[in-house]
């Protein structure tokens, strides 16, 4: 099952390799069409680091009679500026962004306009990421493997004042709660901020300081500061200990997610 049909084709872009922009400038477009064309429609802002996902979301949302895309970008600071400028009714965003974090952006949007509705569209399906996104203030959460119809249904539901998670995310959360899968992972990293957890997760996947800086669009010095904070909060004394702890935590998380996936397939 794929998400976001691009014109006449259904895209399988969400299960392929991580997309990267070839240049360093933020990919930003605003507005998509003329304001007169969108009169009476609810404005949606799209913020995601993968270009093809943004294009797919634009095509999908523009084809509806209720919503209109007012802008798109892969850059967190630019997304904040566009949010203030366009005052969208809803925002569809990812958790990994150029020069910022989706979690922090959700918190900013909630402070700027409590009436705006927020929908996360992310490859992260682990319970901890979902929990932190809702704690930050999102109103909906979709996985990239979800069908395109889930996007429109999610936008409809959150725009009408409801919370929304896709069927696959719901099953994953319920299974995690039923088997107490969330508790060990949460207790080990509960002292970490959302950004620190993001850095910690990437360290667990083998990212060094320079790779982290590239992935998160931060300076190496900033990454080193995060690493120092992580060692202090986790009671570690060296980079080797931090790498080992992060790899162990990530390995356990992947095993938990694999177990949940197998259980869901068996149940289906």
- State the pLDDT at residue 262: 53
Please give the pLDDT value at position 267. 45
Q: Which CATH number fits domain 13-165: 3.40.50.2300, 3.50.50.60, 3.40.50.12660, 3.40.50.150?
A: 3.40.50.2300
In a 3-state reduction of DSSP, which class is residue 160? coil
- Cα separation, 2 vs 13, in Å, equals 8
Percent of the chain with pLDDT over 70: 74
What integer is the mean pLDDT of 153-168?
A: 92
**Residues carrying CATH 3.40.50.2300, the chain:** 13-165
Distances (CA, A) of 122 to 14, 41, 44, 91: 10, 25, 17, 13
In this predicted structure, the answer to whether residue 268 has a pLDDT above a threshold of 70 is no
| Distances in whole angstroms, Cα of residue 113 to Cα of each of 42, 121, 131, 158, 246 | 15, 20, 21, 15, 36
Give the pLDDT score at 14.
Answer: 40
Cβ atoms of residues 171 and 218 within 8 Å: no
Domain range 182-267, CATH architecture: Orthogonal Bundle (1.10)
pLDDT > 70? residue 187: no
Domain boundaries for CATH 1.10.10.10 within the chain:
182-267
- pLDDT (0 to 100) of residue 17: 38
The whole-angstrom separation of Cα 236 and Cα 227 is: 10
Q: Is the pLDDT of residue 22 over 90?
A: no
pLDDT of residue 8: 40
- Say if residue 213's pLDDT is above 80: yes
179 Cβ contact partners less than 8 Å away, ≥ 6 residues apart: 260, 263
pLDDT of residue 225: 93
Query: 96 is written with which tokens?
Result: 């990994």
Whether the per-residue pLDDT at 73 is higher than 60: the answer is: yes
| pLDDT(179) > 70 | no
Res 101 pLDDT > 90: no
DSSP helix/strand/coil, 135: helix
**3-state secondary structure at position 96:** strand
Average pLDDT, the chain: 79
**Nearest one of 80, 69, 73 to 155, comparing CA atoms:** 69
């Amino acid at each position: 099952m794929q998400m976001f049909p691009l014109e006449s084709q259904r895209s399988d872009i969400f299960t392929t390799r991580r997309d990267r922009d070839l240049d360093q400038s933020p990919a930003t477009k605003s507005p998509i069409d003329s304001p007169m064309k969108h009169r009476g429609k609810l404005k949606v802002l799209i913020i995601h680091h993968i270009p093809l996902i943004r294009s797919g979301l634009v095509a999908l949302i523009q084809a509806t009679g209720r919503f209109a895309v007012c802008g798109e970008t892969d850059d967190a600071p630019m997304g904040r500026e566009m949010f203030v400028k366009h005052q969208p009714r809803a925002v569809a965003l990812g958790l990994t962004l150029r020069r910022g974090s989706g979690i922090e952006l959700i918190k900013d949007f909630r402070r700027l306009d409590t009436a705006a509705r927020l929908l996360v569209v992310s490859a992260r399906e682990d319970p901890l990421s979902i929990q932190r996104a809702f704690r930050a203030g999102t109103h909906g959460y979709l996985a990239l493997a979800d069908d395109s119809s889930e996007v429109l249904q999610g936008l409809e539901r959150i725009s009408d004042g409801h919370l929304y998670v896709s069927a696959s995310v719901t099953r994953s959360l319920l299974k995690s709660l039923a088997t107490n899968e969330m508790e060990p992972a949460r207790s080990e990293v509960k002292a970490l901020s959302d950004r620190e957890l993001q850095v910690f997760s990437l360290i667990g996947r083998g990212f060094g300081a320079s790779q982290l800086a590239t992935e998160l669009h931060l300076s190496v010095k900033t990454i080193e500061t995060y690493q120092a904070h992580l060692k202090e909060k986790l009671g570690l004394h060296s980079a080797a200990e931090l790498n080992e702890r992060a790899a162990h935590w990530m390995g356990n998380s992947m095993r938990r997610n694999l177990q949940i996936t197998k259980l869901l397939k068996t149940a289906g």
